[in-house]
Chains A and B, each alone.
Chain A
Amino acid sequence: MANHSAGAPVRYRTFIALVSAGFRRYSTYRQATLAGLFTNVLFGFMRTYVLLAVVGRQAAGYDARQIVTYVWVSQGLIATVGLWGELGLADRIRTGDVVADLLRPVPPVFAYLAADLGRAGFAALVRFVGPVLVGALAFDLRWPQRPATYPLFVVSAVLATVISFGCRYLTEAAAYWLLDARGPRIVWALCSNALTGLVFPLSFLPGRVAAVLWTATPFPWLLQAPADVVVERHSAGGALVLVAGQAGWAGLMLAVAGYAQRLGTRRLVVQGG
């Protein structure tokens, strides 16, 4: 047997290698990337005009420049956070290829998360920067006034990606029980569109409805939280609270995804693939 060295730093290197592989894997699909970029930009213009018409000079705590920035940043975040991206887990469960994942000495959640963060890294370079650049050329965006907002936004976007990963992992892991994740995927598609602040900022909703969404669901933390951080809708302290909230949700979603994976594995190993 190989002389395997152990310990946390090595584990960290495994994670980085998987992240880097995720980055390279997604960078090979150039035409899909360009098509997605085009769609994000097109919808960016539509959302901008609709929301400008709704907001006027100011509404729900956003002024016109903030709302335009909100639109273009959130357009860029769609692919980066991976709102509609698939992890491939459901298909691997359906075809039985998931057995190969179980035969590796790394937990599947760890490996899939690393790959998804790599994917997000590539998406950030093209699918985030692209729409924001177009938005900046076509409109007068509001750039952050506080320098600390920039690093805080990066942390917020990474945490949003982790929360989104957790949600998608759960959706796809449903295939362990249902054999097909199409049903849960439809529910996820609906929630990720309507409840994340993508169609409009959730502050447009009645206070109680928004409060329920923020406290009881992970959805606003996926898109609205990082967008609010970057448009500086809240004070510096408020932005920190938002990011801390995201960290909490990220931890919770990873724990739930890990638990679902353990249950799914148990089901698979007890009842057969």
Chain B
Amino acid sequence: MIETAGLRKEFVVSAKVGKLRRERRVVAAVDGIDLRVERGETLGYLGPNGAGKSTTLKMLTGVLTPTAGRISVCGLTPVPQRTQLARRIGVVFGQRSQLWWDLPLRDSFDLLRHIYRVPAPEHAGRLAECVELLDLGPLLPVPVRQLSLGQRMRGELTAALLHRPEVLFLDEPTIGLDVVSKQAVREFLTQLGRRGDTTLILTTHDLADIERLCRRLVIVDHGRVVHDGTAEELHSRYGSRRRVVVDLDEPLAEPVTLPGVALESAEGLRLTYQLVDGTNAGALVARLAAAASLRDLAVVEPAIEDVIARLYARGATG
């Protein structure tokens, strides 16, 4: 569905040097990205600010010409075939609107039907579906300018899907939303992803979005892909470990040691163990329970934030 090879985008940046002289310098925002996304896949595209996420998205949607490399989206070359591509993709920008500010939401949807030339019955069917899933019914007669951000974002999602795009690009769709609105958006996207007929490309800084929605993560930094795989692969590659935190009633008579288990810290009666290389918590818990009376016990999954923060920090210093 999407294929890029050696995708590169350079910008010329000019900076003031001395009183009159300006120095021009070429900066590669995207520096050789190879990507292959299959139909129905949901892909999380992550990276720190300035990593080249939005530039990639703009090249994939045909609003930015690559400096070098090859792109194919839905079998089309985005920039020269932008108009044809526009009928086959949908784009949601968290910080921009594609709705008509001064018209009721319903009118925006109706206009989009004409713009994308969707037959009326098909449009009505898809709209009814989105209205139900996103609870848009009461909002349809409301002018867009009177909608809250969360309500508007539900409208934006609907607007992007009414012409049944094959690929939906989402650029930070949950930015600025409250918890309830975020959940509504994620729930909707989860259902859409499960159906498998729409490829979803999601850029976000909200890692909860990624954990809920995307099996595959592509992390970019300085315009290059630094990880392409699942969250689990990311954890194992960068040494993230699950932890067992146990609160005891009494100190252990002798330390519990097991292969693949390392004691991370001991603070009074609280012990924290790391599980190395995919070791299960079961054996450790059984040994602990046999050795002492347990007050409380928790198995803590590694936080994706931590590993990604480590990855970004490494990129910044490296």
Q: Which residues of A line the B interface, CB within 8 A?
A: 1-6, 10, 13-14, 17-18, 21, 24-25, 28-29, 96-97, 99-100, 102-107, 111, 268-273
Q: A21-B107, A272-B55 are contacts. A100–B116 as well, Cβ < 8 Å?
A: no
Q: For window 107-160 of chain B, which residues contact chain A by CB distance below 8 Å?
A: 107, 110-111, 114-119, 122, 143
Q: How far is the CA of A269 from the CA of B62 in the complex (A)?
A: 8
CB neighbours (8 Å) of A4 from chain B are 87, 116-118, 163
Query: A5-B119, A105-B84, A271-B12 provided; 15 other pairs, C-beta below 8 A?
Result: A1-B87, A2-B117, A2-B163, A4-B87, A18-B114, A18-B115, A21-B111, A99-B96, A102-B63, A103-B63, A104-B86, A105-B86, A269-B65, A270-B65, A273-B63
CB neighbours (8 Å) of A273 from chain B are 58, 63-64
Residue-wise, chain B 209-224 has the 8 Å CB interface mask toward A (1 for contact) of: 0000000000000000
A-B contact list, 25 entries, CB within 8 Å = A2-B117, A2-B122, A2-B164, A4-B87, A4-B117, A4-B118, A6-B117, A17-B111, A17-B115, A21-B111, A24-B107, A25-B100, A25-B103, A96-B96, A99-B58, A103-B98, A104-B98, A105-B84, A105-B87, A106-B115, A269-B63, A269-B64, A269-B65, A272-B9, A272-B29
A108 to chain B, nearest CB (A): 11
Q: Are A272 and B11 closer than 8 Å at their CB atoms?
A: yes
Chain A residue at minimum C-beta to C-beta distance from B55:
A272
Q: Give the A-B contact count at a CB cut-off of 8 A.
A: 102
Chain A residue at minimum C-beta to C-beta distance from B101:
A25
Q: Are B111 and A2 closer than 8 Å at their CB atoms?
A: no
Residue B250 lies at the interface, judged by CB distance under 8 Å to chain A: no
Residue B91 lies at the interface, judged by CB distance under 8 Å to chain A: yes
Q: Are B164 and A1 closer than 8 Å at their CB atoms?
A: yes
Q: Are B114 and A13 closer than 8 Å at their CB atoms?
A: yes
Chain A residue at minimum C-beta to C-beta distance from B166:
A1
Q: How far is the CA of A24 from the CA of B83 in the complex (A)?
A: 27
Q: A100-B96, A270-B65 are contacts. A2–B118 as well, Cβ < 8 Å?
A: yes
Residue B93 lies at the interface, judged by CB distance under 8 Å to chain A: yes
Residue B240 lies at the interface, judged by CB distance under 8 Å to chain A: no
Q: How far is the CA of A21 from the CA of B104 in the complex (A)?
A: 10
Chain A residue at minimum C-beta to C-beta distance from B79:
A269
Chain A residue at minimum C-beta to C-beta distance from B169:
A103
A22 to chain B, nearest CB (A): 10
Q: A102-B82, A103-B61 are contacts. A5–B111 as well, Cβ < 8 Å?
A: no
Q: How far is the CA of A38 from the CA of B275 in the complex (A)?
A: 78
Residue B97 lies at the interface, judged by CB distance under 8 Å to chain A: yes
Q: How far is the CA of A1 from the CA of B117 in the complex (A)?
A: 12
B53 to chain A, nearest CB (A): 14
Residue-wise, chain B 53-90 has the 8 Å CB interface mask toward A (1 for contact) of: 00100100111110000000000000100111011110
CB neighbours (8 Å) of B58 from chain A are 99, 272-273
A27 to chain B, nearest CB (A): 9
User: Which of the residues A18, A28, A100 comes within 8 Å of B97, measured between beta carbons?
Assistant: A100
CB neighbours (8 Å) of B115 from chain A are 14, 17-18, 104-106, 111
Q: Are B143 and A28 closer than 8 Å at their CB atoms?
A: yes
Q: Are B86 and A28 closer than 8 Å at their CB atoms?
A: no
CB neighbours (8 Å) of A105 from chain B are 83-84, 86-87, 115-116
CB neighbours (8 Å) of B107 from chain A are 21, 24
Chain A residue at minimum C-beta to C-beta distance from B98:
A100
Residue B264 lies at the interface, judged by CB distance under 8 Å to chain A: no
CB neighbours (8 Å) of B163 from chain A are 1-2, 4
Interface centre among B55, B84, B119, B143 (most CB of A within 10 A): B119
